[in-house]
Structure 1
């Protein structure tokens, strides 16, 4: 977000504090108007010519920039480890943990450690978890059985 003197365009498409269209105005005039009203001149997009700019209250511009940064945050990948012989209570705890992570906007990697011939049991456990978590997230990858573990990744909705 480009503000005040950092705007380098010769003229801008100006929108007032209350959303009224003030037309195409030279940048120097728009800056003087902003200083007179004790607000910030904020450029909303640089792709068009002349760039659209708005007059925004000083604190509101900073809050808006923070909200944009929060929305741009990349989801993290968090891993939850399980074993094929899991008790019902432990299963519910892991499911709730995964649901909480997905609702927070992060992805979950469910990993089941396998020993011996537990591959089919691990696959059934992951399928049950995917089914129980379908309202919080969707699977990005299929169930991958490899060596000593079975894994699946769920992305938030």
Structure 2
């Protein structure tokens, strides 16, 4: 079982005859044989790492590989921590929804949009109401008008099975 993913060739894994070598402090040592470069790295008690395998000749650097991998992992964690994850929240309604229930769904949608989440609004048709999709379209138009201050329609209404679906994204600057 491998614990770390290995992206670079190090030390004896490098089989090229000639390499362009960069020293620990970033200075170029020039084009030398792989054997010489490996000896230089071992003298300084460091590793020879191939950092640009596609270059001609390949570029290698003398460095502490363990420290390099650790710092790279640290940078990746930091980048991941700074990412904003956007969830898709769903608000479901029936085509025969009552006024107060509709207002509750609107308030719930506004809360989601203020939180910066995308919103999927669906109107579910039960039994014979599926024969009258215009009621669902009217309901979604009314819903769109109610939340227009906080969100904009990303994808227009469309039928998915027995549901009429619309996607809404938050407006920039309106979230807390």
For residue 98 of structure 2, what is the aligned residue in structure 1?
Answer: 87
3-state SS in 2 of match to 1:143: strand
Q: CA deviation at 1:9?
A: 7.5
Residues 1:108 and 2:119 are matched in the alignment: yes
Any unmatched runs of 5+ in structure 1? 1-7, 11-64
Q: What is the total number of aligned residue pairs between the two structures?
A: 96
Q: Deviations over 1:127-156 (max 9, x none)?
A: 111111111111100101233110001011
For residue 81 of structure 2, what is the aligned residue in structure 1?
Answer: 69
3-state SS in 2 of match to 1:135: coil
For residue 109 of structure 2, what is the aligned residue in structure 1?
Answer: 98
Distance 1:121 1:147 in 2: 16
3-state SS in 2 of match to 1:153: strand
> Alignment partner for residue 122 of structure 1, among 108, 120, 136?
136
Distance 1:107 1:118 in 2: 28
- Normalising by structure 2, report the TM-score: 0.49
Q: Is the 8 A contact 1:84 1:118 kept in 2?
A: no
Any unmatched runs of 5+ in structure 2? 1-23, 27-76, 172-176
- Normalising by structure 1, report the TM-score: 0.55
> Alignment partner for residue 152 of structure 1, among 156, 161, 166?
166
Distance 1:139 1:151 in 2: 11
3-state SS in 1 of match to 2:164: strand
Distance 1:9 1:93 in 2: 63
Distance 1:118 1:154 in 2: 23
Runs of 4+ in 1 over 2 A off after TM superposition: none
Distance 2:25 2:89 in 1: 44
Distance 2:25 2:145 in 1: 54
Distance 1:144 1:105 in 2: 23
3-state SS in 2 of match to 1:105: coil
Residues 1:140 and 2:154 are matched in the alignment: yes
For the pair shown, the structure with the greater C-alpha radius of gyration is 2
3-state SS in 1 of match to 2:156: coil
Q: Using a 3 Å threshold, how does the CA distance of structure 1 residues 9 and 126 change in structure 2: closer, same or farther?
A: farther
